[in-house]
Amino acid sequence: MKIVWASDIHLDHAEDKPGAFKEFADSVNAQAPDVLIVSGDISTGIGFEPHVRQLAGAIGCKLLWVRGNHDLWRTSFQAADELDVYLTGVLAGSHPPDFWGSLHTKDEVSMVSDEVCILGVNGWYDFTAGETKRAPFIMNDWHRISDFVHGVYAGEDERVISMRQSGLSTALAIKKLNAGYEQGARKFHLFTHVPQFVETCSYRGLPTRPEDITLYCNVSFGVSLRAWCKEHPDAHLTTYAGHTHFGKTALVEPNLLARVATAKYGSPKFEDVFEI
């Protein structure tokens, strides 16, 4: 299977640059892939469905995604999941949905072969990296996603809500890894949005500052993935993420390779083309 992988294409920003969307779709089609996988931030919550439909109609291949933080703006986690289930069915039509739609809401992994599978969860930053009390800015997520707005009104804070979402995604990912392993898979390709390892969080080629990284990494997810790989030494896991907009690759365990894609607002591009 030939895969084009992209992240943080932000098609809402591409609307401001004539030809940007067509250029991106043409570049994907030129690779003649079997599937385009986007590891989050396709658009914003209100633009997500029209942009997914536009993208699916413009590329000559199947489409898979996980959601990023921007994809949740002006909606909620539950509403986004419900829409993703609906869109998955619409795009797949009468075909099996293995390689169409949301990887997060799929109960099963997508088996490419007897030993290779694709899986994904949306993921979230968990506030456990770096200097959590010195984050120098406020995330738009906190006042544009209803779970945060309502949670704060109910007396919770952003850290608690983020950690809860991180924990749910982590548990779901481990469940899917175990399910794939039981089916005989030994090569796993896991797509999510927020990087899981400090080693892959970079800014302009330099490590992300301690006071910033709390909002750009999901350390607890990474701990769980490291533990899973140590418990399954005959398996090999590659993770794919975005969020930071600065590419980085790191071998964090002998059988665990972590990748993060580059991105630029208004100029959607794919990160890599590979076969599995």
What are the pLDDT digits (tens) for 180-205?
A: 999 999 999 999 999 999 999 987 77
Tell me how far apart the alpha carbons of residues 18 and 39 are, in angstroms, rounded to a whole number.
24
H or E element: which one contains 221? helix 219-231
pLDDT at 135 over 80: no
CATH number of 2-275: 3.60.21.10
This prediction's pTM? 0.96
pLDDT of residue 13: 95
pLDDT at 111 over 80: yes
State yes or no: pLDDT of 21 exceeds 80: yes
Which band of pLDDT confidence, cut at 50, 70 and 90, is reported for residue 219? Answer: very high
The CB-based long-range contact list for 27-32 (8 Å cut-off, 24+ gap) reads 27/269, 27/270, 28/4, 28/59, 28/61, 28/270, 29/59, 29/60, 29/61, 31/2, 31/4, 31/270, 31/273, 32/2, 32/60, 32/61
How does pLDDT run across 143-163, given as a tens digit for each residue? 999 999 999 888 898 889 999
Domain positions in the chain are 2-275
> Per-residue pLDDT for 132 more than 80?
no
> What pLDDT is recorded for position 210?
79
